[in-house]
Amino acid sequence: MSLIVQKFGGSSVADADGIKRVAQRVVDTQSAGHQVVVVVSAMGDSTDELLDLAAQVSPAASDAREMDMLLSAGERISMALLAMAIHGIGASAQSFTGSQAGMITDAIHGKARIIDVSPHRIRTAIEKGDVAIVAGFQGMSRDSNDITTLGRGGSDTTAVALAAALDADVCEIYTDVDGVYTADPRVVASAQKIDTISSEEMLEMAASGAKILHLRCVEYARRFGVPLHVRSSFSHNEGTWVLPSPDDQIKIQEGEPLEQPIISGVAHDRSEAKVTVVGVPDIPGKAAEIFGIVAGANTNIDMIVQNVSTHGSASTDISFTLPIVDLPDALAALGEAQERVGYESVEYNEKIGKLSLIGAGMRSNPGVSYRFFRALSDAGVNIDMISTSEIRISVVTGAELLDTAVRAVHAAFELDGETTATVYAGTGR
C-alpha cells in the first residue's frame, strides 16, 4: 500500500462535472489499494471573481490579511464539494482547511512561507480509511493564528509539503497537460513529453520559464526528497516523473541501464526586460552599489553581464535582466541614485527573450556549448547576454527571434519527436 498525495488545480475542479470526475479518480486510486490525500485549488475562475468583488468594495486598499481571508474561502468551497462528490459515489472523505491540516506559516500575508507541517488530523483520517482532502494555497500563521495564503504556486507547494511531512511515496500534480515537455509545444510542435527528469534539471526548467511546475514546489520536493509525478487529469497516461536523486531515477526505471540523456529540454521566457547602466565609473564597489539600489526596490535580478572596461577607459557598462513587472521600480530607484553613483545613462529593452538549454548530462559533455551556439548562429540568432550554470546555458536574444531560436536548439539536440504535442494553456494557482 502506498500513500499518494494528489493535487488538482482550479481547471480540474472548475465545475460540478469536473469535481465529480476528480472524485472518481481519487476513489479509483484508493480502490487500487492506496491511501490518498488530495490537495485542491479553488474552482476555476472563482478566485478572479473574489478579486473582482474586492476591487469593487475598496479600489485602493491593499489589505493583505483580509485578502487572504477572502481568497481562502475558494478552496473551502472546492474541497467540501469534492468530499461530497466522493461520498456520493460511496467512499468516505473528510476535508480540512490549511490550519486543520497543520500548515503552519509565517505571517507574510499573500506570500506566506511554510514553517511547519503537523498533519496529525490527516494521518488519523487516512489511517481510518478516509480520503483526506486539504485546501491548497492556505495555512495559518504561527504567531497570529491568522489565515494566510502561500502566493503563486501555493497549492503545488501545499501538496509537496504534505507529501514530505507524511512521507508519501509520490506527490501527483494533476494538470491539463500530459507532463513536462522538451520545449513549449506551442512553439515547438514536435516537442516530446519527458518521462523522467531530475529535480535539479526541473528547477532550472522552472527558473528558465517552463510554467508547468512552480520553482518553489520543485525546490521543496528536492529538499525533502519527494518524487513528483506531473500528469494530466484528463487521461490515465503516465506523465513526467521529477525525481530528487539518481537513485530514485534508477528505481523508477527498474533496472533499465540508466543512460543520462545529455539534454532534458529547452525552456524560454518572455517575461523579462534588460537594463543597461551606461558609463559606470570603473571603481571597485560600483557594481555592488547598483545592485543594492535595484534590490532595495524589491526587484528580482536574474542575469548580469559586466563588460570589461576597454583599455584606458575610466568607465564600464553593467547590464542585467529582471521581470518586466519590476522594471518601473528599478528604473525609478536607479534614476534617483544617478548623481550618487555617477553613471551616465540608463537604457532598457522590454523586447527580449531568454532561451535556456537544460540537461544534467552537459556537465560531462564538453561539446554542448559549441553545438548550442552553432545552432543559434546557423539560425541567424544574435546573442545579447549569456549566463550558465553547471547544467544550463541561457542566452538573451531579441524577442522576435525567440521562437526561431527555440526550434533551432531543440532540433540541434535531437529532441524533436515523431508526434505532435497537444498544445496547452497556462495553469492556475
Residues at the contact surface with its own copies, assessed by CB under 8 A:
16, 19-20, 23, 50, 53-54, 56-61, 63, 65-67, 69-70, 72-74, 76-77, 79-85, 87-88, 93-95, 97, 100, 121, 145-147
CA distances from 148 to 67, 98, 314 (A): 9, 9, 51
Residues 6+ apart with CB under 8 A from 311: none
Nearest-approach distance from CB 199 to its own copies, in angstroms? 34
Nearest-approach distance from CB 105 to its own copies, in angstroms? 16
Pick the closer one to its own copies by CB: 63 or 106.
63
CA distance 176 to 232: 5
Pick the closer one to its own copies by CB: 85 or 376.
85
In SS3 terms, 288-339 reads as: HHHHHHHHHCCCCCCCEEECCCCCCCCEEEEEEEEEHHHHHHHHHHHHHCHH
Pick the closer one to its own copies by CB: 124 or 345.
124
Nearest-approach distance from CB 226 to its own copies, in angstroms? 27
Nearest-approach distance from CB 76 to its own copies, in angstroms? 4
Q: In sequence order, what DSSP letters do the residues of 118-147 get, joined into one string? A: --HHHHHHHHTTPEEEEETTEEEETTT--E
Residue closest to 90 by CA, chosen among 31, 148, 135, 45: 31
Instruction: Go through the chain and tell me how many residues it has.
Output: 429
Nearest-approach distance from CB 14 to its own copies, in angstroms? 12
Nearest-approach distance from CB 93 to its own copies, in angstroms? 8
Pick the closer one to its own copies by CB: 11 or 198.
11
What angle (nearest 5°) sits at the alpha carbon of residue 153, between those of residues 148 and 158? 60
Nearest-approach distance from CB 108 to its own copies, in angstroms? 17
Pick the closer one to its own copies by CB: 76 or 113.
76
Pick the closer one to its own copies by CB: 16 or 258.
16
Query: Reduced to 3 states, what is the DSSP secondary structure of residue 198?
Result: strand
Rg (CA), the chain: 23
CA distance 219 to 157: 9
Pick the closer one to its own copies by CB: 85 or 114.
85
> Which triple of cell numbers denotes residue 359?
540537461
